Structure 1
Amino acid sequence: MVLNFYAAPTMAQPAFGKATLARVVQNTGTLTTQLLAGWEQAARRGEPVDVLNDMQHLAMRVIGMALFSRDLENDLQAGLADTAGADPRSTRGGNCFTETVRAGVQVVALRNVGPAPLPLWVPTRLHRRFRRGLAAVDRFVYARIDERLADPGGYDDMLADLVGSYGDQAAAADTRRELRDQVVTLFFAGFETTAVALAWTWLLLGQHQATEARFHQELAAVLGGRAPGAEDLKALGYTGQVVQESMRTYPPVYTRTRQVVADDEIAGFATAEMTTVLAVAGQRVRLRPASAEPVTIIPAVTQRPAGGLPMLVEVRS
């Protein structure tokens, strides 16, 4: 039971076209605006928000829309937010993905510090939880693949592009498995890493107010209060630098190294999402750490703040 989080075959490249990027930017802007309503309510009450949890929730919704044309928020609202009590046989998307991510992070954290990591087939409580979650992910993903096989022209999303790229071979058993692998790779890579990177970025902006002020100045000059479109992202050069410096300071997947042999970029998919979140939210709020205490890091697959990331919201006038 292996998750290949970081490889994508040439067949997957049609899913990263300009039309996909435009949809991601638009959906990200809409979903971020919805999140801000809750943040502004918290600001009026003087209560902190858990930025890590909120960025995970937002990233899950964004990648759900991009991959499946499906807002996974609806699955959570269907009574599945309590993952501990959810039926593992459920095919609801939001529950099975978030549950598997949470369990998987704990599995890797234990493997990072343990002298002799247990194989996944050893039936510990955590391993059983992770395997149940992964089985639910498989059922959900295969159901979405079969929807697109049954109605090839009925969907306009990354999964439809992936299925279409395999042509007549898409329905073959080995191809369905490969499609499943690519979808799981795209979801987990686009969900957990993006959310963690955004959380650290908000923390760093809250700790470096001169940088934050220049970031706000760029947003005002380029956007003037409106949400960005895909065509605006290149003009947000300083915002992009903020994203890159944040990821240099807190690399989301710090345990995976690469030797770059040539410059390359695949449509700027995850960076576009992060830039859009910062651009939309940064025009309306600023965030400040809720505590002066240093943030403790959990060294798992990603560098995650231990116990979440509570921050106070200030509404910008």
Structure 2
Amino acid sequence: MAASEAPVRPVAGPRGLPLLGNLPAFGRDPLGFFTRLRDDYGDFVTWSLGPLRSVFVSRPDHIAELLGAVEHGYEPLRIGWGLKQLVGDSVLLSTGEDWRRKRALVQPTVRPRHVRTYAATMVDCSVTLADGWRDGQRVDVRHEMTRLTQRIVVRTLFGNDLEGEGGRLGDAMTVIQHELGTELRGVNLFLPSWVRTPSRRRMLAAVEVVDAEVERLIDARRAAGTDSAADRDDLLSRLLAARDESGRALTPREVRDEAVTLWAAGHETTSTALTWIWLLLSTSPAARSRLAEELDRVLGGRPPVYEDYERLPWTRQVVKEALRLYPPAWLIPAVAGKGAALAGVPLRAGTVVWCSQWSAHRDPRWFPGPTEFRPERWDADAPDAVPDHAWFPFGGGQRTCLGARFALVEAALVLATLAQRFRLETDPHDGRPSVGLLLQPAVPLRATLHAR
């Protein structure tokens, strides 16, 4: 069925409790909750998250309309207290003229021509990791991928290295992920900002660790001099050198917020995606064999370069299919403004409209065999056309993730570098995700390394 054939008839979703609405059901199983809304009620469902009047949309054309209207009829939902503690007023949460100014200053730092210059660092860090691996070694996959992507993003973002601080930063981000997920699923979501629960105190302590290390890295870059910052290759130097139309630079606080946002998004999303990729390849011998054949044929044993990204279609399809099954970012909410409408339906101002990558990416109408790992569904001559915005791991519209190109290139080049030298056999794992800021495996993923 084409995405535009079904008529829109908003329907009421499951009945909720007084004051809490559907929060308990959502909190118990957010992924299943949205899937049930789609399957049991339809593509345009009303529900409530505590006091928030909400609508959930599932059809790709409605999702495209919603994401395309943000900054016009909608604003991003500043949900919860914890996320703001981490990213402040960065481009991720800012709105209006403030958002447009910051986006104009940040976007040039991750343009494709700059990503090209970062590719060598991505491969170099991957080669260093592979050099330290040994045949038969047992590894914690997420730990290894986090260590790798963290080193990549610190070198590309700050032009520096972690100097032994990677463990503290990784531990802090694990705490932040957990506490953000806890907040999203419970009544903490609606507590006043001044309330300090144990969860919020743990969150603040973890953010302090992140701030201290990011401040050290920023100070090191400033100490190196900013006269030629625009000529340096790292993202931070470009942020420090950026000027808006009136000649204003980012303030120190704004630099901190954007740097933390780029750091958190730049390594957590890719390390999460790579963790799922290794699990999926381990359970899909045919896909793994086709990957090995492509890498041997195209690379011939040499490390990949940026130009190989376009020469490795199966590698890219493996990444794309993993992002379909396990999108690190799994939910996008937006708040309707005055006069907002969706699919011709007027929405009351303040209504929160939600769409979910998890639900859309596993919709059998757009993806036959939706729970199966089938990279071939992305073949150029695949028989089943995928509607626009049925796959949207990086969002869409004006608020599409600024680092999308960086993340796709990084995931493909890291995978190509490591998979041509090692095969990872993961322990039995049921693939259950843990819902937090990102979708991480619910239990650690262990694997045995086999040299190729």
TM-score relative to the length of structure 1: 0.81
How far 1:123 sits from its partner (Å)?
3.3
Distance 1:110 1:159, change over 3 A: same
Match of 2:433 among 282, 297, 303: 297
Paired position in structure 1 for 2:141? 51
Please list the CA deviations of residues 36-86 of structure 1 after superposition, one character each: whole Å capped at 9, or x if unmatched: 23432xx33xx53111111111111110001011122x223xxxxxxxxxx
Q: More relative contact order in 1 or in 2 (CA 8 Å, sep 6+)?
A: 1
Aligned to 1:169, the other structure's residue is in SS state: coil
Partner of 2:248: 169
Distance in 2 of aligned mates of 1:36 and 1:145: 29
What's the RMSD between the two structures over aligned residues? 2.7
SS in 2 for 1:230: coil
Q: 1:225 to 1:164 in 2, by over 3 A?
A: same
Residues 108-257 of structure 1 aligned to structure 2 (within 5 Å) = 108-117=180-189, 118=191, 121-149=194-222, 151-152=225-226, 153=228, 155-166=232-243, 169-170=248-249, 175-256=251-332, 257=355
1:68 aligned onto 2:204: no
- Is this contact kept in 2: 1:5–1:184, CA < 8 A? no
- Aligned identity (percent) is 32
Whether the 8 Å contact between 2:176 and 2:207 is mirrored in structure 1 is no
Contact 1:108-1:301 within 8 A present in 2 as well: yes
TM-score using structure 2 length? 0.59
Structure 2 vs 1, CA of residues 32 and 175 (structure 1 numbering), >3 Å: closer, same or farther?
same
Q: Is the helix fraction higher in 1 or 2?
A: 1
Q: 1:121 and 1:304 mapped to 2: Cα distance? A: 29
Higher mean C-alpha deviation, range 219-228 or range 13-22: 13-22
Contact 1:112–1:299 (8 Å) recurs in 2: no
Say which structure is richer in strand: 2
User: For residues 184-241 of structure 1, what are the alpha-carbon distances to aligned partners after superposition, in whole Å with 9 as ceiling and x for unaligned?
Assistant: 1111111111111000011111111111111111111111111111111111111111
Q: 1:204 to 1:147 in 2, by over 3 A?
A: same
For residues 141 and 192 of structure 2, the distance between their equivalents in structure 1, rounded to whole angstroms, comes to 33
Identify the residue that residue 81 of structure 1 maps to in structure 2.
Answer: none
User: Larger radius of gyration, structure 1 or 2?
Assistant: 2
What residue number does 1:86 align with?
A: none
What is the CA distance between 1:109 and its match in structure 2?
A: 2.0
Say how many residue pairs are matched.
290
Structure 2 unaligned regions, length at least 5 = 1-83, 94-101, 333-354, 356-391
Q: Distance in 1 between matches of 2:240 and 2:446?
A: 40
Instruction: Check conservation: 1:145, 1:176, Cα contact below 8 A.
Output: no
